[in-house]
Copies of this chain bind each other. A is one copy, B any other.
Amino acid sequence: MIRRQQEQAVEYKCIRSGIGDTCMRKLLSGEAEMYKKGRMFNHMTLLPGNSIGPHTHSGDNEIFYFLSGTGEYDDNGVAVRVGAGDVAVCNSGESHALKNDGDEPLCFIALILYD
């Protein structure tokens, strides 16, 4: 089955009291399409100045894979510069946040797998 970009569901959402909305393009639509192994496989776009607020994962694990742009990733309270090619893993029990403090959109894949 092929799903073209224009057929993929897009949601704009303020995530975890961050700044602005994050554009979430759903590569798979939630748990049912993920064989109940997780609940998110999205192409995310965070515009300059926008952020995802800090939050802790419990019972699931989130992986970010950065495709383009640059930003500041909060890795359990430690600020880390991130950009294309980097992978960030937030396991269950850990916390993270993300801010686009650059000049171009920060694009990344977000994958959430259950614990």
Contact = CB atoms under 8 A, between A and B. Distances in A.
A38 interface: yes
B37 A113 contact: yes
A63 interface: yes
Interface residues of A, number: 35
Given A63-B27, A87-B27, A109-B109, A35 B114 contact: yes
Nearest to A84: B5
Contact of A5 (B3, B73, B85): B85
Nearest to A65: B27
A109 B3 CA distance: 15
Contacts of A63: 27-28, 41
Interface of A: 1-5, 8, 27-28, 33-35, 37-38, 41, 43, 61, 63, 65, 67, 73, 75, 80, 82, 84-89, 91, 109, 111, 113-115
- The 6 tightest CB contacts between A and B, nearest first, are A5-B85, A37-B37, A3-B87, A1-B89, A37-B113, A35-B113
